Amino acid sequence: MRRYLLALSVLMASLVTAQEAVDWSSLVEKVMPAVVTIVSADAKDIVQGSGFIISSDGKIVTNFHVVAGKPAILARRSDGSFLVIKGILASDKANDLAILQAEGRNLPFVRLGDSDRVKVGEAICVIGSPMLLEGTVSAGIISAVRELRGGRKLLQITAPISEGSSGSPVFNRKGEVIGVASFILSEGQNLNFAVPSNVVKALLSRLGTAIKPIPPLPTLSLEERFEQAYQEAIRTVQEDHEALRSLRLKDIAAAMAKAGQFDRALQIAQKIEVTWARSLTLAVIAKAMAEVGWFDRAIQIAQKIEYAGDRSWALAVIAKAMAEAGQFDRAIQIAQEIEKPGSRSEALETIAEAMAEAGQFDRAIQIAQMIESAPDRSSALAAIAKTMAKAGQTEQANQVFQLAFQTAQEIESALARSWALMKIAEASAKAGQTGRANQAFRLVLQTAQEIEDAQYRSSVLMNIAVTMVKAGQSDRAIQIAQMIEDAHARSLALVDIAKVMAEMGQFDHALQVTQKIEVASVRSSALAAIAEAMAKAGQFDRAIQIAQMIENASARSWALRDIAIAMAQAGQLDRALEVAEMIDDPVARLQALADIMAAKQKAGKE
């Protein structure tokens, strides 16, 4: 017994030593702005507790008993400012949890860790407001993980929980919240308990349709919000260095053009100092004008672009918009004025495809034959053949497919030949001609092996993998992607595969593919693409959930932008505004508001 007690004392001493050795000062300084004091009241009394912000748009976690039945709730931040609580988004009485929604934007927040991975003896610290002593820090360890009836768990901790600490975050050394301080057993000595963070995650995932939409700020109209976002974006970009400022001004100008404010967009373009960025901005503005049918003005803007490449691209986009509007003769005229052969070929390819879609097959083939670039010519013929096959003109389609094959196989460059063969494979698969598609896939894989440059070879394999996914060969596509030697290129290929799967509605499969991505920043891009596809499919709640999982702040902002845009296009303008308010990046937020305005204007016209 003595030996047992000695061993226990040594163990406890080692745990205390480990606890004392942890310097929490830098972590506390980092997370303190996200820790709040919660004050709730009704006609009878006032209750005080603690909480913490878990999202930049103001979601706050606290204990249920701190806010239950209280109509008035405020959150006081460490700097003394107050956040008005608009409502309780979700609650879990059994686990003593509540998620509040505060007014605010771009707020500091902390991340939830994985409480299933905590270890007994692990060092932790708690930050709360016991007895109104705000910002009190107490350290300790995880002393046990307690299993309760019904599968529930509690974390037993040695860090003291006093009155007013309820709802405090329990941090691990990484700065992740692994628990929510909940209660103390008054009969025991230092018996304190916290709800595991994974219970909070489960509550968050259940928000879904149960969440009542939070109304936008009542004093601002959409137009006023847009103007406010514009001013904030302009202020923000002034702090960037010249090249980055020019690129972000391009994005702002694009947003203004999207909202139909073309004159302001052009004014912004003239402020851009870097010539190539200014040229690109004018091209983007011309594109926006063409998309709304302002062809003459779009052409005028395009012709003012200094760089021939951007000028050619803008005219190609205008020609495409004209073709889609059925103005084929004018589109051909514009295409033939394009200086750069590549852009000219691309424009003619688009026109040929639009003519085929309109049933003008003979003329489409004539335009395709005018294309100088053999890969583009082969691609255009394959697209025409696909449309003919779908229209039931099987014999003629087979002839055009054969012509596309012949054109592709005469291309000397293995890289260009592989690209042309991929387009044939994709078109054949879409036309339901599986045999021809598989033949093209075999040829393109053989061609890829001829490419000596590893980077170009990786690029071809990436495109093959994506084309196979589109053709319904997902497993084979993943195998092809994993053949890529470079880890970054391999990750990019898997991103493209996940994106295509998501666009096809295979969301769970797409999420599984993201687990294979080795590069973290690239994985963020994949999750952003999946969130966007979910939003376009109308799965808004799940899209937001995925977006909030994205580690990279920039990727998270642009994912939320895409979700807001999809909501606006679906007519959910109020909810789109809510999501726009969650966006940290001011330029991304401005672009989201531009699309919301465009959707509102369109709805007004209809």
pLDDT tens digits, residue range 487-508? 777 888 888 888 888 888 888 8
598, pLDDT greater than 90: no
Q: Taking the CA atoms of 256, 261, 262 and 267 in sequence, report the sign of the dihedral they define.
A: negative
Rounded CA separation 201/483 (Å): 36
Task: Give a yes or no: residue 105 inside a domain.
Answer: yes
16-25, 48-57, 477-486, 497-506: segment of lowest average pLDDT:
16-25
Produce one character per residue of 235-257: b if its CB has 16 or more CB atoms within 10 Å, e if not: ebbeeeeeeebbbbbbbbbbbbb
- Residue 301's pLDDT band (boundaries 50, 70, 90)? very high
Nearest residue to 294 (alpha-carbon basis) of 284, 286, 305: 286
Helices 487-503, 454-470: crossing angle, 10 deg rounding: 20
Task: Give a yes or no: residue 6 inside a domain.
Answer: no
What does residue 195 show for φ and ψ, rounded to 5 degrees? -80, 130
Rounded CA separation 63/392 (Å): 65
Residue 541's contacts (CB-CB under 8 Å, 6 or more residues apart) are 207, 208, 209, 211
Find which of 61-75, 82-96, 125-139, 300-314 is predicted with most confidence, using mean pLDDT. 300-314
- Residue 312's pLDDT band (boundaries 50, 70, 90)? very high
Q: Taking the CA atoms of 525, 526, 531 and 537 in sequence, report the sign of the dihedral they define.
A: positive
95-109, 447-461, 538-552: segment of lowest average pLDDT:
447-461
Q: What does the CA dihedral 215, 220, 223, 224 come to, rounded to 10 degrees? A: -140
Instruction: Indicate the burial class of 183 (C-beta count within 10 angstroms; 0-12, 13-18, 19 or more).
Output: middle
Rounded CA separation 418/451 (Å): 9
CATH number at residue 195: 2.40.10.120
457-461, 533-537, 560-564: segment of lowest average pLDDT:
457-461
Helical (H) or strand (E) element with 90 = strand 82-92
Instruction: Please tell me the predicted confidence (pLDDT) of residue 501.
Output: 86
449, pLDDT greater than 90: no
174, pLDDT greater than 70: yes
Residue 505's contacts (CB-CB under 8 Å, 6 or more residues apart) are 533, 537
CA separation, residue 563 to residues 46, 69, 105, 201 (Å): 39, 34, 17, 21
Task: Give a yes or no: residue 531 inside a domain.
Answer: no
What does residue 39 show for φ and ψ, rounded to 5 degrees? -125, 120
Number of domains in the chain: 1
- Residue 1's pLDDT band (boundaries 50, 70, 90)? very low
- Residue 451's pLDDT band (boundaries 50, 70, 90)? confident
Rounded CA separation 479/565 (Å): 34
Of 560 and 242, the structure prediction assigns the larger pLDDT to 560
For 204-229, how does the pLDDT look when each residue is reduced to its tens digit (9 = 90+)?
Answer: 877 643 333 333 434 567 777 778 78
Domain that holds residue 127: 22-200
For 326-384, how does the pLDDT look when each residue is reduced to its tens digit (9 = 90+)?
Answer: 999 999 999 999 999 989 999 999 999 999 999 999 999 999 999 998 999 999 999 99
For 140-153, how does the pLDDT look when each residue is reduced to its tens digit (9 = 90+)?
Answer: 999 998 887 667 88
Residue 33's contacts (CB-CB under 8 Å, 6 or more residues apart) are 77, 78, 79, 108
Tell me what percent of the residues of the chain surpass a pLDDT of 90: 25
> Under DSSP, is residue 326 helix (H, G, I), strand (E, B) or coil?
coil
Report the pLDDT averaged over residues 116-126.
91
Residue 323's contacts (CB-CB under 8 Å, 6 or more residues apart) are 331, 350, 351, 354, 355
For 539-595, how does the pLDDT look when each residue is reduced to its tens digit (9 = 90+)?
Answer: 888 888 888 778 788 888 888 999 999 898 888 888 888 888 888 888 888 888 988
How many Cα atoms within 13 Å fall on the side-chain side of residue 107? 32
Task: Give a yes or no: residue 344 inside a domain.
Answer: no
Task: Give a yes or no: residue 92 inside a domain.
Answer: yes
Instruction: Please tell me the predicted confidence (pLDDT) of residue 14.
Output: 41
Report which DSSP code applies to 112: B
For the chain, give the mean pLDDT: 83
Task: Give a yes or no: residue 174 inside a domain.
Answer: yes
Instruction: Please tell me the predicted confidence (pLDDT) of residue 295.
Output: 94
527, pLDDT greater than 50: yes
Instruction: Please tell me the predicted confidence (pLDDT) of residue 549.
Output: 78
Instruction: Please tell me the predicted confidence (pLDDT) of residue 185.
Output: 54
Rounded CA separation 491/496 (Å): 9
Report the pLDDT averaged over residues 429-434.
82
Task: Give a yes or no: residue 72 inside a domain.
Answer: yes
Q: What does the CA dihedral 216, 221, 227, 229 come to, rounded to 10 degrees? A: 0
CA separation, residue 390 to residues 348, 358, 387, 395, 432 (Å): 22, 13, 5, 12, 9
Task: Give a yes or no: residue 443 inside a domain.
Answer: no
